[in-house]
Amino acid sequence: MGIAHALAYLHVGFPRPIVFGNLIPLCILFNEENVAKLFDFSESISIPEGETHILTRSRFGAWTYSAPEYKRGGVFNEKLDVYTFSTVLLELLTGQGTRDLLRTHGSVRHLIEYWKNYLQNNRFTEIADPIIVQDLSCTETEHQFQACARLTLECLNESPVDRPTMVDVTKRLRQIYCSLSCN
């Protein structure tokens, strides 16, 4: 939630949106209180006033984490951060690196279809990180996990228009977190 909040702040907390652009697990550090912090803003770009995106030929970020519109046409906007955030969330939920997941499934599209299939058939715990599965001790926790998985799928949408904003992602993660009622 902390990283989602930080990205949302970059998008709306300044006169011009700032796109982090390179969210990978190595860009997340934890302080002594285990609070997640963004690290390495070297690839961050401020979107010019009045614009919704910039086009760049430069190669930013880790290619396996990049959104389809960036890979195809160099479109750099806030929805790029939404997509890369979801790839990190995917790694957290599965306990596998994005490269490993892509090596197994061949493409993001196949990975998403695989994920949807397990989620729709209530078999997601079969592909989830075993550490998380052992913590699914009550129905509410399992619902939280499934809600995170559905949110991840939304954020991985091929079309940036169909992805939520980071503000929406932050709100939904907060709702998911607050829904926990079992100890």
**Domain residue ranges of the chain, discontinuous segments joined by +:** 53-178
User: Residue 85 has what pLDDT?
Assistant: 94
| Average pLDDT, rounded, for the chain | 83
Higher pLDDT, 15 or 126: 15
Run of H or E residues at 29: strand 28-30
pLDDT tens per residue across span 32-52: 999 999 988 888 889 988 888
d(CA 42, CA 40): 5
- Summarize the confidence of residues 18-32 as an average pLDDT: 90
Query: 160 or 57, which is more confident?
Result: 160
What pLDDT score was predicted for residue 146? Answer: 84
- Sequence letter at residue 28: I
pLDDT at 6: 95
- Look at residue 122 in the predicted model and tell me its pLDDT: 77
Per-residue confidence (pLDDT) for residue 171, from 0 to 100: 97
Q: For domain 53-178, which CATH number applies: 1.10.510.10, 1.10.1780.10, 3.30.310.50, 1.20.120.1810? A: 1.10.510.10
What pLDDT score was predicted for residue 173?
95
* Rounded Cα gap, residues 168 and 82, in angstroms: 10
Quick one: pLDDT at residue 107?
67
C-alpha span between 143 and 138 (Å, rounded) = 9
* Residue 162 CA neighbour count, 13 Å, CB half: 10
CA distance 90 to 96: 8
- Residue 8 class from Cβ within 10 Å (0-12 exposed, 13-18 middle, 19+ buried)? buried
The pLDDT tens digits of the residues spanning 101-150 come to 767 766 667 777 777 787 788 777 777 888 777 766 667 777 888 899 89
For residue 78, pLDDT beyond 70: yes
Statement: residue 53 has pLDDT above 70: yes
- Closest by Cα among 155, 154, 149 to 129: 149
What per-residue confidence (pLDDT) applies to 120? 80
